[in-house]
A and B are shown apart, each in its own frame.
Chain A
Amino acid sequence: MRTTARKSRRAMTFAVVAALATGLLAGCASDDDDSSDGGSSGGAGGGGKTTLTIGTFGTFGYKQAGLYDEYMKLHPDITVKENVTTRTDVYWPKTVTRLQAGSGTDDVQAIEIGNITDAVQTQASKFVDLGKEVDKSQWLDWKLKQATTKDGKTIGLGTDIGPMAICYRKDLFKKAGLETDRAKLAEQWKGDWSKYVALGKDYMKKAPKGTKFVDSASSVYNAALGGESERYYKDETTVDWDKSEGVKKSWDVAMEVATSDMSAKLKQFDKAWDQGYANGTFASVACPAWMIGYIQEKSGKAGSGKWDVAAAPTAANWGGSFLGVPTASKHQKEAIAFTKWLTAPEQQAKVFAKQASFPSTPSAYGSLKPKAETAAYFSDAPLTQIFSDSAKTIPSQYFGIKDQPINTAITDIGILQVEQKGKSPEQGWDAASKEVKDVLGQ
């Protein structure tokens, strides 16, 4: 009895140790893979397989649209591996340190629009000039300009852009006695975000129990700001965030939302926000094209046919990314070819079909078709039409080097204080100012 007990205990210990050890070894092994890949392809000309890694954040939709599989089928000697970091704010610092160390980067790195100026101004030497490799006229002018340095080096190719629309719950609008036809709604708020907010006040008068008009004041702010020609910087050297007309106008609209109880007070991309979609706690949301896929995923089957899409008050852009090839990439040639292929109009159209991320290459616009399922989900709204109309008139915006932290200071400090803590708009602005000064080191 004794001995068997001891034996089984020993076996148990052995099992635990073995499990831990294999775990550790597995961790090491995956690291080894990366380095040995570099070595093998360097030595072998065509025999060995080349592994291309692509670093992305959030959901790019390439995997979902089957683009990696397709590329591997077209190029049997290449294996594609995607390294996803969910959060942009974690992804970029990590990427920057690796770029500067000159090692550890992926062969292709995605760059978010909020970081593109940072990349252009400080990391340009660490990226391959992709402008020489492609026909630059394929892209929207302003999109290309954002990724191009002063001396004409294009460090990233545009992927999607975020033309704006309003997604709304037809059923909730109806219950609150509002118009539900998308064309008439678009007409009602055309030209000015404060008209959209005014409609929100009407909604709240007869709002179905437990629902609000919008998800958050910050989302209205971001949407409105995306339609202004000036953000936080006038040009490369002048930060004029507190004098910018665009910021002031967008702030005022956001304050109207924050002080009139029409917001569900959620923070975008928080878990609670996702639940808000699932439970239908807000009736409308400023809706860049990439949000379409998100809504479908989070609202689930129950939301199908209840959502509709109408043109936004102003043509605006929110978000969008680029793909760049670091000079530290061990397979530069293959990586460039891969990036060219991924960002080509045909591939962008495929991502739109699956994920509704909107192409930055206008020649794709003629052939855009969302999946039948997606169209049905949004009450057969003409998604292609709405988003391409918006895309064509988006003003060109300059993103400053600290654009992202400044934006965070305004939305997550200034607006949130007014929205959640009942502070006055002046107090909120002061708090945001203090924060921005800290960001800029003033």
Chain B
Amino acid sequence: MTVSKEALAQSASSAEAAPSDKEGAARGTHGRGTAKAPDSWRSRLYRWDMKASPYAFISPFFIIFGAFSLVPLLYTAWYSLHNVQLSSLDTQTWAGLDNYTNLFASDFFWNALRNTFSIGLLSTVPQLAVAIWLAHMLNYRLRGSTLWRVVMLTPYATSVAAATLVFALLYQPENGMINWAFDLVGLDPVNWKESDWGSQFAISSIVIWRWTGYNALIYLAAMQAIPADLYESAALDGANRWQQFRHVTIPMLRPTILFTVVVSTIGATQLFGEPLLFGGVSGSKGGSEHQYQTLGLYMYDQGWMIGNLGKASAIAWSMFLILLVIAAINMLISRRLRKSQ
């Protein structure tokens, strides 16, 4: 182990030293005023190796990215400007921006966009708040803390399908456990499948359940990096735990919070599996009034159920642009935050 490490270190240092050596040598020859010595084949190969190898090392990612992300992305853009039916991919007719104008004139699109945002808010905000609180709790000395951490991560490890099927059963309007519990405490049953807010809340709860532990662990990692003396001095100043949390933990966590917000927002914009499976048969409609049809579902419905691939591609690109806008807003906010600090 140690031997190889040393060897690595050596080669690294020699690699760093090499170019400057070379330069020095070249300068030296210039200084003597003689003609520039022709590079030997070996040294040219060596220099070429120095320049090209790093690219070769990182190329697998970019090749795979190009083949499986970039090309499909551009191809989707091409599709979105054509009339393409799933059943006849060979015949594409040029449609210009028709797909986009149709899309922006369609109520279904705006409805899906609205739903995506409201479900996104309903799931992201409580999820992150609970995650911070959980992380704060776990940050104290606990017996069996590893166990708690593992337990928190289990929902994340569960498959979306399995989790959603269980939740769909719990939220069944008739014979469902949640309505049964509502009945016990004297509340009216809610039609979790078809009511507007009920269904959105139900879907959000699945997302919250799956992702809270994951985010809590990220927060926990960041919390443990906060120096303990900050807390000690805060305690000396007479701050109680809540005040410590507000005035020490939260400010120190700011970059981490921002990171989780960005990641969760992207996840929320792409929400697909949970509402699809929650809806059961014909789940891609997102309920009888499309009350929980997200952009992802709308795209799936257009492309694979109805077979209108051109329009589906236009939705995909609109989603992509929306994500870019969100990313830009996030960047602005984070820059602001950094300045204010």
Taking beta carbons and an 8 Å cutoff, which residues of A are in contact with B? 89-90, 93, 96-97, 100, 118, 121-123, 264-265, 267-272, 275, 279, 281, 401-402, 405, 408, 412-413, 416-417, 420-421, 431, 434, 438-439, 441
Contact = CB atoms under 8 A, between A and B. Distances in A.
B165 A408 contact: no
A241 to B, nearest CB: 15
29 contacts: A89-B284, A89-B304, A93-B86, A93-B304, A122-B85, A122-B87, A122-B88, A123-B87, A265-B173, A265-B174, A269-B280, A269-B281, A270-B280, A271-B172, A272-B172, A272-B175, A272-B280, A401-B87, A402-B307, A405-B307, A408-B305, A412-B285, A413-B285, A417-B288, A420-B194, A420-B288, A431-B289, A434-B107, A438-B108
Contact of A267 (B88, B169, B195, B280): B280
Interface of B: 85-90, 102, 106-108, 165, 168-169, 172-175, 191, 193-195, 280-282, 284-285, 288-289, 304-308, 311
A268 B288 CA distance: 14
A390 to B, nearest CB: 25
B282 A272 contact: no
A121 B85 CA distance: 13
Contact of A421 (B168, B172, B289): B289
Given A438-B106, A441-B311, 7 more contacts: A118-B87, A264-B174, A265-B174, A270-B281, A271-B172, A408-B305, A439-B306
B54 to A, nearest CB: 28
A272 B288 contact: no
A408 B282 contact: yes
Nearest to A212: B174
A81 B75 CA distance: 35
Contact of B193 (A93, A100, A420): A420
Interface of A, helix, strand, loop or mixed by DSSP: helix
Nearest to A408: B282
Contacts of A434: 107
**Of residues B107, B195, B306, B308, which shows the largest number of chain A Cβ atoms within 10 Å of its Cβ?**
B306
Nearest to B90: A100
A270 B85 CA distance: 29
Contacts of B308: 441
Contacts of A122: 85, 87-88
A269 B175 CA distance: 17
Contact of A96 (B87, B102, B281, B305): B87
A271 B305 contact: no
Contact of A416 (B174, B175, B288): B288
> Lowest 10 A-B CB distances belong to which pairs?
A416-B288, A122-B87, A270-B280, A412-B282, A420-B194, A93-B304, A417-B288, A269-B281, A405-B306, A100-B89
A438 B111 CA distance: 14
Contacts of A271: 165, 168-169, 172, 280
A96 B288 contact: no
Given A402-B306, A413-B285, A441-B308, A96 B86 contact: yes
B306 A413 contact: no
Contact of A405 (B85, B107, B165, B305): B305
Contacts of A264: 174
A408 B289 CA distance: 13
A267 B193 CA distance: 11
A409 to B, nearest CB: 8
**Of residues A265, A401, A412, A431, which shows the largest number of chain B Cβ atoms within 10 Å of its Cβ?**
A412
A420 to B, nearest CB: 4
Given A412-B282, A420-B191, A439-B306, A272 B174 contact: yes
